[in-house]
Amino acid sequence: MTTSQQILNQLSELADATIAEHSSRFFKSGVGEYGEGDKFWGIRVPALRQIAKQNVATPLDEIVTLLYHDHHETRLLAVFMLVQIYEKNKKSPDIQQQVFDLYLQHSKQFNNWDLVDSSAHKICGPQLFNQQIDKQDRSILYTYAKSDNLWQRRIAMMTTYYFIKRDDYQDAFALAKILLNDQHDLIHKIVGWMLREVGNRNLMAEREFLNQHYQDMPRTMLRYAIEKFEKPLRQQYLKGLI
């Protein structure tokens, strides 16, 4: 059994000050930025994924300890480990439920876009979809979409990526509508991205939603949503000519 302290020792040995400085800027850890105060070891993602594979037997309570560590890469490693446990236990629904419950319980610790984008659609997505539950039972996503916490709002939208890839668009559209007037750029981007993903599978469905709402969208959200449209159509949306 691997402990969180053993893993922290392993991470500290891989620390690189130059990479850490770059990561600090990239993940906006300055005063007033969305990642304010975050600390970095300076460890690349492939190395973190390798450590996750090496420590597959780490107990969930030790992973939770890592999830509350003040270094960004430690929390990201915890995310990779949770996803790994979830995906390796497809025949153990009790374990998957335990990971899902843990995710919701500690959702505010998934506190940067890479932590959310590496996990929400891989844990919350299949858990909510595969149970064959109705939209009312997906109400946690709507609670998160209305949360004051930026990361819970992003979790809500990112979760729908799993649904979208299975041609289930209703929650993506409903949550996008809730988040239409969100003030944060990271929400504008995730909503636009998910709408684009709908369009990759069903362009008519995306355009029907856009035609109703594009004039009320933040510019960044719209640009992300129409990024793969042919240029003339893209210009029509940008100029409000639809």
pTM of the model: 0.95
Q: Residue 56: CB partners within 8 Å, gap ≥ 6?
A: 81, 84, 85, 88
- Residue 132's pLDDT is what? 56
C-alpha span between 198 and 156 (Å, rounded) = 16
Query: By C-alpha distance, which of 174, 194, 193, 184 is closest to 218?
Result: 184
Query: By C-alpha distance, which of 66, 74, 72 is closest to 24?
Result: 72
- Residue 130's pLDDT is what? 78
- Residue 211's pLDDT is what? 97
What the chain holds in terms of domains, given with CATH numbers, is: 1-118 (1.25.10.90), 134-242 (1.25.10.90)
Supply the DSSP symbol for 30.
S
Torsion of CA 96, 98, 99, 101, to 10 degrees: 120
Per-residue pLDDT of the chain (242 residues; tens, 9 = 90+): 789 999 999 999 999 999 999 999 999 999 999 999 999 999 999 999 999 999 989 999 999 999 999 999 999 999 999 999 999 999 999 999 999 999 999 999 999 999 999 999 999 999 999 765 545 589 999 999 999 999 999 999 999 999 999 999 999 999 999 999 999 999 999 999 999 999 999 999 999 999 999 999 999 999 999 999 999 999 999 999 98
Supply the DSSP symbol for 71.
B
Give, to the nearest 10 degrees, the angle between helix 93-105 and helix 60-67: 20
The residue type of 39 is K
- Residue 81's pLDDT is what? 98
Query: By C-alpha distance, which of 57, 64, 141 is closest to 99?
Result: 64
C-alpha span between 117 and 158 (Å, rounded) = 6
C-alpha span between 80 and 210 (Å, rounded) = 34
Query: By C-alpha distance, which of 89, 172, 174, 176 is closest to 129?
Result: 172
C-alpha span between 184 and 179 (Å, rounded) = 10
C-alpha span between 23 and 28 (Å, rounded) = 8
Query: By C-alpha distance, which of 201, 134, 130, 200 is closest to 171?
Result: 134
